[in-house]
Amino acid sequence: MGCCMTVPFIFRSEEMFVYERMSKNVKKIMEDTPMSRIISYFEESEYSYMPVVNEDEKIIGCVTRKVVDDIKPSKMLYMFGGMKAKEVMQTGIFSINMNKTVEEAAMVIKENHIDALFVTDEGNKIVGIISRLDVYKAFIDVIGLKDDGTRIILKKDDGNICEIAQIAKNYTVRNISKYKTKSGEEIAIAVAEKNTDSLEATLKEYGYEIKAKVD
């Protein structure tokens, strides 16, 4: 079989960069912001964390809603209400450059058991935030789960994307992806057509097991 580059694909890599998927509406706190004002910021928003920046607008830490909730009781507010953001912020926070891929953001979020990453530019200035939900949405869009058509999950020990692309050359292929599961590697192909009986039959002839079909 020939190279899969002869088969037309809709390649959507531009959707997989952090700057395309991040939320730009991020409330930044200056390092000298008093705790009483920070509490007000959290009460007026749904944020779970707010980045703390210095005079150069470079990120140096973050304040979490948990810290705010712990201080809000009257006695605690009396004791800590005059503290500055730099005194209650968490350091060693996780951030990612805006030009990194969503896959890289997903790895950092997963490996560090966090819910979101602050996004920075080349000067380490904060420009946004990308959450677990943003990552999920990106993969759903790129895989094409919301598109009309059919998605077929395949399994074969020596299966490869080029071979599948050639098998499906008479179909409108949206994307083909290969990933690892607990039971081994699987390949997913998404096509625009609803009727894939012929495609499935040919895949089986080449030794592919049809694990699932979604249309």
Structure tokens at 49: 């964390």
Which class would CATH give 15-138? alpha beta
Beta strands in 121-192 (DSSP E): 126-131, 150-155, 173-181, 184-191
Domain boundaries, the chain: 15-138, 148-214
In order of 34, 90, 128, the CA distances from 58 in angstroms are 19, 15, 12
Angle between helices 132-143 and 102-111 (to 10 degrees): 140
- What is the b/e burial string over 57-66, where b = at least 16 CB atoms within 10 angstroms of the residue's CB? eebbbbbbee
pLDDT (tens digit, 9 = 90+) per residue, 113-163? 888 899 999 988 899 999 999 999 888 877 766 778 898 999 988 888 889
In order of 26, 116, 156, 179, 203, the CA distances from 185 in angstroms are 38, 28, 8, 6, 16
- What does the DSSP 8-state code read for residue 128? E
Mean pLDDT of the chain: 83
Residue 92, pLDDT > 60, answer yes
Question: CA–CA separation, 114 vs 202, rounded Å?
Answer: 43
Q: Which CATH superfamily is domain 148-214 in?
A: Ribosomal protein S6/Translation elongation factor EF1B (3.30.70.60)
pLDDT (tens digit, 9 = 90+) per residue, 5-30? 444 343 343 458 999 999 988 889 99
Residue 80, pLDDT > 70, answer no
pLDDT (tens digit, 9 = 90+) per residue, 63-74? 888 887 877 665
Residue 100, pLDDT > 50, answer yes
